[in-house]
């Protein structure tokens, strides 16, 4: 009936229902809040992850740039060092070539001086050899004593000749050879039909060489063409005249 006063049981039941409704609402609010917190945490974690990845990527990019710069710097240093090494190698080779040329030139000059000194010494001894040659051809021993003396100085002469041979000295043998102004000095001419014109017929003073050097030119007699003989008729005409 309208206007009826609710009983105490009804009031308690409503209170309980209200309390349940409040608890349910509270649970819903808590669940919703937890879900919101969880989503916010995930969002924050996602954002943090993205930020971390972005920072890592930027750091890697910077490291790559630094590595490229370092590599370029090293390449530049390598090229510079390579050029310097090539320059030093060229200088070393040039210096080695100059030293080798200097060594060869010095060695050649030394050998030339040695040969000149040897030539000068041998040239001074040649007159002594000439005297031995004249003595051998002109002196005729008349007795045993003279023969012993002759053999003694001829032994010395042979020793000197052998010594000169060991030094590289050779005596010219120009007889029968064609006259060569590089080796011979013509001091006489001999008209003859026995040898072709320009042939050395006799060696008057012996010449000597040391290797390809002429120590002394040989003084020689050279053949010339014989003078034409006068005919018998010309001879008789000259006699009658």
Q: Pick the residue with more confidence: 223 or 231? A: 223
The pLDDT value given to residue 228:
73
Q: Is the pLDDT of residue 105 over 90?
A: yes
Beta bridge partners of 216: 208
The pLDDT value given to residue 2:
44
Question: Is residue 177 within 8 Å of 202, Cβ to Cβ?
Answer: no
Q: Is the pLDDT of residue 68 over 80?
A: yes
**Each residue of 173-218: pLDDT tens digit?**
999 899 999 999 999 998 988 888 999 999 999 999 998 899 999 9
The pLDDT value given to residue 139:
75
Lowest mean pLDDT across 119-133, 134-148, 176-190: 134-148
Lowest mean pLDDT across 57-71, 115-129, 172-186, 199-213: 57-71
Residue-averaged pLDDT of the chain: 81
Which tokens belong to 194? 């026995």
**Each residue of 5-50: pLDDT tens digit?**
455 555 667 666 666 666 666 666 666 666 666 666 666 666 566 6
Q: Is the pLDDT of residue 167 over 80?
A: yes
pLDDT bracket for residue 232 (50, 70, 90): very low
Q: Is the pLDDT of residue 94 over 90?
A: yes
Mean pLDDT along residues 143-165: 85
Task: Give me the percent of the chain exceeding a pLDDT of 70.
Answer: 74
pLDDT bracket for residue 99 (50, 70, 90): very high
Question: Is residue 220 within 8 Å of 187, Cβ to Cβ?
Answer: yes
């Amino acid at each position: 009936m309208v206007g009826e006063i609710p009983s105490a049981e009804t009031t308690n039941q409503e209170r309980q229902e209200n309390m349940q409704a409040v608890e349910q609402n509270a649970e819903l609010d808590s669940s919703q809040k937890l879900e919101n917190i969880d989503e916010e945490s995930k969002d924050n974690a996602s954002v943090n992850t993205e930020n971390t990845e972005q920072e890592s990527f930027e750091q890697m990019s910077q490291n790559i740039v630094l590595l490229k710069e370092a590599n370029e710097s090293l390449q530049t240093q390598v090229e510079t060092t390579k050029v310097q090494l090539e320059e030093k190698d060229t200088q070393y080779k040039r210096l080695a070539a100059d030293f080798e040329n200097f060594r060869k030139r010095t060695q050649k000059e030394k050998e030339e001086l040695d040969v000149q000194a040897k030539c000068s010494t041998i040239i001074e001894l040649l007159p002594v050899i000439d005297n031995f040659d004249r003595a051998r051809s002109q002196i005729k021993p008349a007795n045993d004593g003279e023969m012993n003396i002759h053999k003694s100085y001829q032994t010395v002469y042979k020793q000197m000749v052998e010594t000169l041979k060991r030094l590289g000295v050779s005596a010219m043998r120009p007889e029968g050879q064609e006259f060569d102004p590089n080796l011979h000095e013509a001091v006489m001419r001999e008209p003859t039909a026995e040898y072709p014109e320009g042939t050395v017929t006799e060696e008057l003073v012996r010449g000597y060489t040391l290797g390809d050097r002429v120590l002394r030119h040989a003084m020689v007699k050279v053949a010339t063409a014989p003078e034409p003989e006068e005919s018998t008729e010309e001879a008789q005409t000259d006699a009658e005249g």
